[in-house]
Amino acid sequence: MSTNASKGKRVFAGLSGGVDSALACALLVEQGYDVTAVYMRNWSRDLPGFKCAWADDLADAERVAVTLGIDLEVWDCEAEYKATVVDYLVDAYARGYTPNPDVMCNQTVKFGTFAERAFAAGADFVATGHYARVAPAAEKGTGDKPAAERPVRLLRAADEHKDQTYFLWRVGADVLARTLFPVGNVPSKAEVRRMCAERGLGVEAKPDSDGICFVGPVGIRTFLLDTLDSRAGDIVEWETGRVLGHHDGAFLFTVGQRKGLDLGGGPARYVVSTDVRKNVVYVTADHQSPALFCSELSLEDARWIGGSAPAAGEYLVRTRHTGPLTPVRVEPDPDGRTAHLTFAEPQRRVAPGQSAVIYDGLTCLGGGIVSKS
């Protein structure tokens, strides 16, 4: 159903060929927006053993656009994606970090390159199929401003299990104020699929995308060994310093990892830490070892959606997409670019390079990159 607020407003909507973006476009059309769909070609390169599925996804996007009677444009974002996502990932692993490429993709490509080009082309709003919501911030003196200029809050989605605000913490409030998330209020993925089928969009049975899109089923280990030089090194028992085996590069491992150590028989072992300079991987057989837990986190490269860091106090933190919301004390440094987090109870250690995202109730405040745990 269209409204006066939406009627005729121009929206450029990302259409990947998947279920969520398809329904997002359909809902926007039904609400009366003037919708132009955009397929972002972020990656088209094949890897040994993996043919990139971008052409199949584009074909699905084209069929959805035809069904909805909207134009579809194909924008080549591959150069930006390689520079800010792929190269970022490779560099982070080489330094011993475990990065989250989806976080960077949202900041630099989907809400960077795509949003900038859309607004330059005359869009009033951009839209995606992310599970998230945007709501006006409760600030005095802003009610008479145009909607796109009012302060906003980023809220968790109605479907808590699918919520994707964890990946959006680096997107600025200026872009969020001009962003629509049409599926953010849909209560479940099953309902999204049902709504797609009801509208005849033809993608309701398409599986969810999983893992790193440019790596595919090849896996991150194979991708890194194809990109970085392998370096033989030791796998060392944390408690005793005894060499248990060997590896092809400390950059291939992350905190808490169990699979891929290839130590033969004996008990399962878990990665405690890596030293990429010395090229050593430290492991323990004790799943409850204190070395696998932490009571504090240090964050760097912090970003705050409201523009400034929140006051020191008690909040919630999520350290992986599907992880629990955990109570934590947050103490931002005066410049707001770093922060110190303290847990009341020890938590499983978080790999350096991962995102720690801070919430105040339903509101995503921002976050930072874990530098130490």
Short-list 149, 153, 148, CA closest to 137: 153
pLDDT single digits (tens) 64-81 = 999 999 999 999 999 999
Is the domain of 185 the same as that of 304?
no
Q: Does some domain include residue 334?
A: yes
The structure tokens 């028992």 sit at 237
* Domain housing 333: 290-372
Residue 194: CATH number of its domain: 3.40.50.620
Is the domain of 186 the same as that of 264?
no
pLDDT, mean of residues 347-369: 97
pLDDT single digits (tens) 307-351 = 999 999 999 999 999 899 999 999 999 999 999 999 999 999 999
Is the domain of 174 the same as that of 146?
yes
Residue 306: CATH number of its domain: 2.40.30.10
- The confidence score (pLDDT) of residue 4 equals 60
Short-list 196, 155, 169, CA closest to 15: 196
Is the domain of 36 the same as that of 173?
yes
Q: Does some domain include residue 208?
A: no
Is the domain of 315 the same as that of 254?
no
Is the domain of 253 the same as that of 329?
no
> What is the number of structural domains in the chain?
3
Is the domain of 137 the same as that of 239?
no
- Hey, which residues are catalytic here? 105, 213
Is the domain of 130 the same as that of 265?
no
Q: Does some domain include residue 70?
A: yes
Q: Does some domain include residue 144?
A: yes
Average pLDDT, the chain: 93
Is the domain of 62 the same as that of 190?
yes
- The confidence score (pLDDT) of residue 27 equals 98
Q: Residue 142 above 50 pLDDT?
A: no
3-state secondary structure of 272: strand
Whether the Cβ atoms of residue 31 and residue 9 lie closer than 8 Å to each other: no
Is the domain of 43 the same as that of 174?
yes
Short-list 52, 61, 60, 20, CA closest to 216: 52
Is the domain of 81 the same as that of 105?
yes
Q: Does some domain include residue 218?
A: no
User: What band does 149 get if pLDDT is binned at 50, 70 and 90?
Assistant: low
- The confidence score (pLDDT) of residue 65 equals 98
Q: Does some domain include residue 94?
A: yes
Is the domain of 47 the same as that of 172?
yes
